[in-house]
Structure 1
Amino acid sequence: MTGSLRDAREFWDEFYAGDRRVWSGKVNLHLADVAADLAPGRALDLGCGEGADAIWLAEDGWQVVAVDVSANALERARVGAQHAGVATRIRFEQHDLSTSFPEGRFDLVSAQFLHSPAKLDRETVLRRAAGAVAAGGRLLIVDHAAAPPWVGDHDHEHHFDTIDEVLAGLRLEDAQWERLRAGAVERDTVGPEGQAATLTDNVILLRRLDGHAAS
């Protein structure tokens, strides 16, 4: 999906400005569930934010490339990695993923809630993410199925891609990929004002069967 025309770097630097922690500091549950069954290797964390996922992976033995468009987010993530003692296991890179992408192949590529109200060519980014998966590696895409109940009316009007739309946009050859998961998962959570809610996440987990790059 493409967001507004506002510059992504400007938007997310403003989002991560100041000293207040934005996210919980805990690993995303679907990532932890998937990675727990894998031998540590090379991981790519797209849209790493404050770094909780990258730090968790590094603590579990992964070598991680963590990417975000915001310099402020990356600085927070670097500090968090240093405090956790895993800074040497994570390489932080600044990318506007609509225009540039990290180099290399990875055993796990993670795109957790890669939604943006600022400009983002999401379909192209996810195709590049698939192309970065090494032979035998996994691509994990986790999306919101709908806006959380506490967000504004504008966000409720926003279109969230369905699982079928994401899979179609990837344009993958069936013979080169195994579909391990593709379904909706409910989870209980707490909103920013302490309100309880049940959210639905769309979880897609694919495994590359050979070494060919995705189209």
Structure 2
Amino acid sequence: MTDTDGKAADRSALWNTRYRSKAKMIAPLPTGLQAKLQQLRKGRTLDLACGEGAASLQLAAEGHDVVAVDFAQEGLNRLQLFAEQQRVNVELHELDLNVQGALSALGRFDNIVVLRYLPELSLLRQLPDLMVPSGRLFISTFNQDHHRQTGFSQRFCLKPGELLNSLPQLSLIEYEDGTEKEEPMDSYIFQK
């Protein structure tokens, strides 16, 4: 096991412990995120770093063919339970997103959703290759206000406009600076 493998195992164990200690109900997505998800075209949709799957459940209920990926098995277990309770289908995969090419075996997607997670630049640059022509990428994650308000690691918080020029092979459809919002998150919608 390499040092990187050890760090991934530690992160996975931490998140598995968090999910095991959570209530038996899933917290709904904020209204703003729910509305953004409704802007996606129905189709095959990847929920990247899905956690316990609030976005996956909403998308599946709206008719998307959802593939949910996370490295924490307990989060995926919770998602499976919630999907069964809501009578929706979600395809689950336990994957370490820091492993180069881990997502390539999953095929192509009409949409990719990344919520409350800031992918490493190397992973971010792989995402357009997973998208069909006219596919959409929706990213909404914590910004610097979140860091200032909560002390959440600045490393995982977006700087204003940080992703505007990070994906030159995609067209930006919408950017929303979430500074001074109830949930301080920046949102981007790109199209291939």
Instruction: Specify if TM > 0.5.
Output: yes
Task: Quote the offset at 1:9 in angstroms.
Answer: 1.5
Map 1:189-200 onto structure 2 (within 5 A): 198-200=182-184
Supply the AA of the counterpart residue of 1:106.
F
Deviations 1:32-86 (A, max 9, x none): 3234244411100011111111111111111000011100000000000000001
Deviations 1:12-38 (A, max 9, x none): 1122123425861x1354543234244
- Picking from 173, 184, 187, the partner of 1:180 is 173
Provide the identity percentage.
Answer: 24
Verify the 8 A CA contact 1:44 1:64 in the aligned structure 2: yes
Verify the 8 A CA contact 1:31 1:110 in the aligned structure 2: no
- Picking from 153, 163, 166, the partner of 2:163 is 166
- Picking from 2, 13, 36, the partner of 2:16 is 13
**Aligned position for 2:98:** 98
Verify the 8 A CA contact 1:8 1:96 in the aligned structure 2: no
Change (3 A) 1:27 1:200: closer
Distance 2:64 2:96 in 1: 24
**Aligned position for 1:51:** 53
Aligned positions, number:
182
Verify the 8 A CA contact 2:158 2:186 in the aligned structure 1: no
More helix by share: 2
Q: Which moved more, 1:63-72 or 1:131-140?
A: 131-140
Q: Which has the higher contact order (CA 8 A, sep 6+)?
A: 1
Supply the AA of the counterpart residue of 1:98.
N
Which TM-score applies when normalising by structure 1? Answer: 0.73
Change (3 A) 1:187 1:74: farther
Map 1:1-215 onto structure 2 (within 5 A): 5=7, 7-20=10-23, 24=27, 26-87=28-89, 90-99=90-99, 100-101=102-103, 103-115=106-118, 122-146=120-144, 147=146, 151-152=150-151, 155=152, 157-158=154-155, 160-170=157-167, 172-173=168-169, 177-185=170-178, 198-208=182-192
Verify the 8 A CA contact 1:28 1:53 in the aligned structure 2: no
Unaligned runs of 5+ in 1: 116-120, 189-197, 209-215
Task: Quote the offset at 1:163 in angstroms.
Answer: 4.8
Unaligned runs of 5+ in 2: 1-6
Deviations 1:93-138 (A, max 9, x none): 00110112252111110001114xxxxx611222222321211110
SS at match of 2:141: strand
RMSD: 2.7
